[in-house]
Amino acid sequence: MSTSKDDALRAINKPAAYGPDLDVNQYSRQPKNWEPCPISSLPKEILERILEVGVLPERENRAASFFQIDHSVIFRAVQSLFEDKVEIMSAREALEKYDWLKDYWWKIVSVDTDKYTALAELAWDQGYFIRIFEDQKVTMPLQACLFISTDNLNQNVHNIIIAEPGSEAQIITGCTLHSSVQRGLHVGITEFYVKEDAKLTFTMIHNWAQNFDSRPRSGALIEDNGVFISNYMCFKPLKSLQMYPVAYCRGVNARARFNTIIYGTGTSYIDVGSKIVLQNEGCRGEIISRAIATDEAQIYARGFLQGEHGNTKAHLECRGLILSDKAIIYAVPELMAKVQGAELSHEAAVGKIAEEQVQYLMARGFSRSEAEALIVRGFMDVSIFGLPKELEREIQRMIDITTERAL
Amino acid sequence: MVKCILEIQNLSVEVSGKRILNNVNLQIPEGEVHVLFGPNGSGKSSLIMALLGFPAYKIVSGRIIFKGIDITSLPTNERVKMGISVAFQNPPVIRGVKLGRILSYLMPDENKIGELLVKVKFPQSFLERDINLGFSGGEIKKSEILQVLAQNGDFIVLDEPDSGVDVENLRILGTIINDALHGRSALIITHLGVILQYINANMAHVLMNGTIVCSGSPVKILGQILNEGYAWCEKCPQVKTMRCEL
């Protein structure tokens, strides 16, 4: 039997199906060394950066926190109120602690998917393990931060999230870097296990730099009556980003939803898709994506719904707003039904800001630029995502901060 | 001499090279409420768009004087800030832009917005709705009136405030509009004149084929239109002289 390592070695030169092919050897494997410390005692510059991706320095407003800088885990703790509800630790620590964890490792995402998954196996730099215990409802969000402090660094994390039966939680993951970092490669493997009757809301916010590359690889497995909601946001320019997370609705009545908001600026090359596979009776899926392209950004907004079982239903809605003649939005919605009774639908629309809308707002007294900004912000309205109100407000606030600067 | 709040002089307007308004002359004295009648496609709404300065409505000749100032080449928002408030007939849906966001821009005092909501019988939750998305005919009219009230301009333009509205909502709207018109000047476009049951208008004009063909008493003109249709206007001998004193 071949090991993960063997599989990885065979895939180390395998380009990804989408996105620019990167030479993974051009990045450094020499991180800065960071000693464990509370998040709030990190340098001010870092604290400012993490706020933009939803990570809070204080422990009070998060049920649990995980913080990694470069290749070092500097903090991980569960707030005392939630100690019997959830556990959080580095992935390496978890693998040592739990023998059974190997049954969750590279089980949804294949190690030989491409050179990036291979890299995450062969040059693995931590990541986190989060488990929400059976029947526990964690009312406060958990947070994880993957931070890069060294220019041109390659960081490869592997995260495992397990929502045990009947549990419920929201996780916010922020990935960002120090202002001195211009280049680098982040590879993030995340495997989600949403068990019977569990509900997991996962929100990931990326803020990278102009010459930075990012290759997340995620997969979710949802069992009977489980609900998985994934929110992804990327507002800052970067060199290239390519990801195509998949959710497998394996159990009866399993539900998956992907919400994505991309704001492409500069010369960013962004190829982001979401895929839902409906594998059992009563499964439901929804993909909603919003892409805004300005300057010379190129955005590929993909979506794939695959119906493999009768009495399943899924919808894909992809809207793109193009704000510059040098930008490109390429919307690729795909549906594949393999059986009768798989009801799949999509709507896709790409266009510029409607003049009629601008004029309407100007007739209310807004200037042209105010009207356009209002329309663009409205386009990124997260209230359609069906998130808990508290989380919705928090995300909207982050969007407002980012777009205020961009517009 | 009576002071006019709005004076449209010899206005001709084109959209995509097609003439839609031809030599329109219209004077609305301060404090008066005027009504604009006209068959479908006669250019009534276009006159409003041109008044607001929407770029697609190209002014070929003529001038628009508002409060004594030539506003013909001003951008829309500057005209509006001078006191023109328009309730549109078919406003666009803008996803993600909440009615409440627009209202709070027009009227920063939250309590006053609350009062307006009560007036139009909108629940507070309506503020969280995307503007015009999934609004019923009556809700669109109410939302437009709400915004006009919040704008608080001294010249109000209502484009068919009575079309597609049920009896109950018509009564609400009629009362609100009548209140709003107190001490203000207005131009009200109406197709069937239903709104005239609720308001007192000083003068009516009939727009046909992009030209004002008749001006006079609102009640008399409406009566003729309801009895004989706009064909009556075409037959009217005085139309040719651009004036029919009734």
What does the pLDDT look like over A301-347, one tens digit per residue?
A: 999 999 999 999 999 999 999 999 999 999 999 999 999 999 999 99
Judged by DSSP in three states, A389 sits in helix
pLDDT digit string, tens, across residues A112-122: 999 999 999 99
Domain termination site, one of A320, A337, A352 = A352
Distance CA A293, CA A173 (A): 24
Pairwise CB contact (< 8 Å): B54 & A359 = yes
Query: Distance from B41 to chain A by nearest Cα, in Å?
Result: 19
Chain B residues with CB under 8 Å of A375 CB are: 94, 97
Hey, which residues does A232 pair with through a beta bridge?
A: A204, A260
If asked whether residues A154 and A230 sit together in one domain, one would say yes
Pairwise CB contact (< 8 Å): A355 & B56 = yes
pLDDT digit string, tens, across residues B94-117: 999 999 999 999 999 999 999 999
Pairwise CB contact (< 8 Å): A377 & B96 = yes
Chain A residue closest to B81 (CA)? A365
Distance CA B51, CA B60 (A): 13
List the domain range (segments joined by +) for residue A125. 4-352
CATH 3.30.70.860, applies to B4-241: no
If asked whether residues A342 and A370 sit together in one domain, one would say no
If asked whether residues A322 and A397 sit together in one domain, one would say no
Q: Band of the pLDDT at A237, cuts 50, 70, 90?
A: very high
Q: Which helix (H) or strand (E) holds A289?
A: strand A284-293
Of A89, A92, A191, A207, the closest CA to residue A148 belongs to A207
Chain A residues with CB under 8 Å of B86 CB are: 363
Per the structure block, which two tokens stand in for A7?
């599989």
Pairwise CB contact (< 8 Å): B94 & A378 = yes
Chain B residue closest to A369 (CA)? B77
If asked whether residues A281 and A374 sit together in one domain, one would say no
Q: Does A330 touch chain B (CB under 8 A)?
A: no
For residue A268, pLDDT over 80 is answered with: yes
Of B144, B131, B138, the closest CA to residue B180 belongs to B144
Pairwise CB contact (< 8 Å): A355 & B97 = no
**What are the Cα distances from residue A10, in Å, to A115, A116, A119, A187, A218?**
9, 12, 11, 18, 20
Percent of chain A whose pLDDT exceeds 70: 98
Nearest CB among B54, B97, B106 relative to A378 is that of B97
Percent of chain B whose pLDDT exceeds 90: 78
Distance CA B25, CA A14 (A): 74
If asked whether residues A257 and A374 sit together in one domain, one would say no
pLDDT digit string, tens, across residues B111-151: 999 999 998 889 999 999 999 999 999 999 999 999 999 99
If asked whether residues A168 and A201 sit together in one domain, one would say yes
Chain A to chain B, count of Cβ pairs less than 8 Å apart?
68
Q: What is the mean pLDDT of chain A?
A: 95
Query: Distance from B209 to chain A by nearest Cα, in Å?
Result: 24
Pairwise CB contact (< 8 Å): B75 & A375 = no
For A49-69, b where at least 16 C-beta lie within 10 A, e where not — what string?
A: bbebbbbbbebeebbbbbbbb
Pairwise CB contact (< 8 Å): B88 & A377 = no
For residue A53, pLDDT over 60 is answered with: yes
Pairwise CB contact (< 8 Å): B102 & A364 = yes
If asked whether residues A325 and A357 sit together in one domain, one would say no
Hey, which residues does B128 pair with through a beta bridge?
A: none
For residue A152, pLDDT over 80 is answered with: yes
**What are the Cα distances from residue A236, in Å, to A208, A373, A381?**
6, 17, 17
Domain count for chain A, please give it: 2
Per the structure block, which two tokens stand in for B119?
């007036």
Nearest CB among A364, A377, A378 relative to B106 is that of A364
User: CA A316, A318, A322: angle at the middle one, nearest 5?
Assistant: 175
If asked whether residues A119 and A222 sit together in one domain, one would say yes
Domain-wise residue ranges, chain B: 4-241
If asked whether residues A249 and A291 sit together in one domain, one would say yes
Pairwise CB contact (< 8 Å): B102 & A381 = no
Q: Band of the pLDDT at B232, cuts 50, 70, 90?
A: confident
**What are the Cα distances from residue A94, in Å, to A34, A91, B71?**
20, 5, 71
Residues of B with CB under 8 A from a CB of A: 52, 54-56, 75-77, 80-81, 86, 88, 91-92, 94-98, 101-102, 105-106, 128, 130, 147, 151
Chain A residues with CB under 8 Å of B80 CB are: 362-365
Average pLDDT (A51-70) is 92
Domain termination site, one of A334, A352, A370 = A352
* Whether the Cβ atoms of residue A274 and residue A305 lie closer than 8 Å to each other: no
Chain B residues with CB under 8 Å of A378 CB are: 94-98, 130
Per the structure block, which two tokens stand in for A178?
């120090």
Pairwise CB contact (< 8 Å): A360 & B77 = no
Distance CA A155, CA A148 (A): 8
For residue B1, pLDDT over 90 is answered with: no
* Whether the Cβ atoms of residue A300 and residue A334 lie closer than 8 Å to each other: no
Residue A355 is given by DSSP the state: H
Q: Does A368 touch chain B (CB under 8 A)?
A: yes
Distance CA B181, CA B200 (A): 9
**ipTM > 0.90, yes or no:** yes
